[in-house]
């Protein structure tokens, strides 16, 4: 009975994700989203309910297909500092560095802490990110300063994504990341 979707949902969410990363939620219209995804407004409303529904779906897709995937790729099962360092260095490459920035960071700044269409995605995204960092720091270094070190890395992560989005000169970032992780390695037992 239920007909299969006639469009590629992952591809649509990918395109919508890029549109939201580029222009934010308020800065993009249903028409823009139709142009970006190749769907008509009717199809969007039928498939996702409304603009907020599409945003939520695209945000969820971003968390899974970009953030979780990046963590698995670089940190994976090893949970070591080298992998986490590679993860940070990878931020300087696509897709975050493609001038659209990170949807998590962009949404955090656009919506802030108020309840919004982004609240759930923000909570999940920050939790996933912090958990991955904490897993590595706790497993490799431990001790009483885990909270401090995790906060340092989270701050660095967000700072990098702001500078990338702003188009600032990020040529010094690799050296900052490497010096940060060199410091952490000195704390290895």
Partner DNA sequence: TCAATTCTAGAATGATCATCTTAGAAAGAG
Partner DNA sequence: CTCTTTCTAAGATGATCATTCTAGAATTGA
Residues that bind a second copy (CB under 8 A): 22-24, 26-27, 99-101, 105-106, 108-110, 112-114, 122, 126, 147-148, 150-152, 154-163, 165-168, 172-173, 175-176, 179-180
Partner whose binding site includes residue 40, from a second copy, DNA, none (CB under 5 to 8 Å by kind): DNA
Partner whose binding site includes residue 7, from a second copy, DNA, none (CB under 5 to 8 Å by kind): DNA
Q: d(Cα 160, Cα 49) in Å, to the nearest integer?
A: 34
Residues composing the chain: 189
3-state secondary structure of 143: coil
Among 22, 30, 65, 154, binds DNA (CB under 7 A): 30
From residue 130 to residue 169, what is the string marking binding to DNA with x (rule CB under 7 A)? ----------------------------------------
CB-wise, 28 or 58, nearer to a second copy?
28
**How many residues form the binding site for DNA (CB under 7 A)?**
23
Contact status: 93 vs DNA (CB under 7 A): no
Q: Please list, in sequence order, all residues whose beta carbon lies within 8 angstroms of the beta carbon of residue 88, skipping any fewer than 6 positions away.
A: 153, 156, 157, 160, 177, 180, 181
CB-wise, 36 or 160, nearer to a second copy?
160
Nearest to 50 by CA among 25, 24, 23, 21: 25
DSSP class per residue in 115-131? S-TTHHHHHHHHHHHHH
Among 41, 73, 145, 183, binds DNA (CB under 7 A): 41
CB 76 within 8 A of CB 70: no
Among 22, 23, 47, 120, binds DNA (CB under 7 A): 47
3-state secondary structure of 170: coil
Q: Which two tokens stand for residue 83?
A: 């992998």
Contact status: 171 vs DNA (CB under 7 A): no
């Amino acid at each position: 009975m239920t007909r299969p979707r006639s469009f590629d949902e992952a591809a649509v969410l990918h395109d919508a994700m890029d549109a939201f990363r580029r222009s934010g939620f308020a800065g993009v219209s249903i028409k823009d989203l139709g142009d970006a995804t190749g769907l008509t407004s009717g199809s969007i409303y039928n498939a996702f309910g409304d603009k907020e529904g599409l945003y939520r779906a695209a945000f969820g897709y971003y968390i899974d297909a970009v953030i979780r995937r990046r963590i698995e790729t670089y940190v994976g099962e090893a949970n070591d500092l080298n992998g986490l360092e590679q993860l940070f260095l990878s931020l300087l490459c696509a897709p975050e560095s493609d001038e659209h920035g990170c949807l998590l960071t962009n949404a955090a700044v656009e919506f802030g802490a108020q309840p919004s269409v982004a609240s759930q995605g923000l909570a999940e995204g920050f939790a996933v990110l912090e958990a991955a960092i904490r897993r590595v720091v706790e497993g490799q270094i431990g001790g009483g300063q885990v909270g401090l070190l995790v906060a340092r890395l989270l701050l660095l992560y967000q700072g990098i994504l702001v500078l990338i989005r702003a188009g600032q000169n990020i040529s010094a970032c690799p050296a900052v990341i490497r010096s940060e992780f060199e410091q952490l390695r000195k704390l290895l037992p």
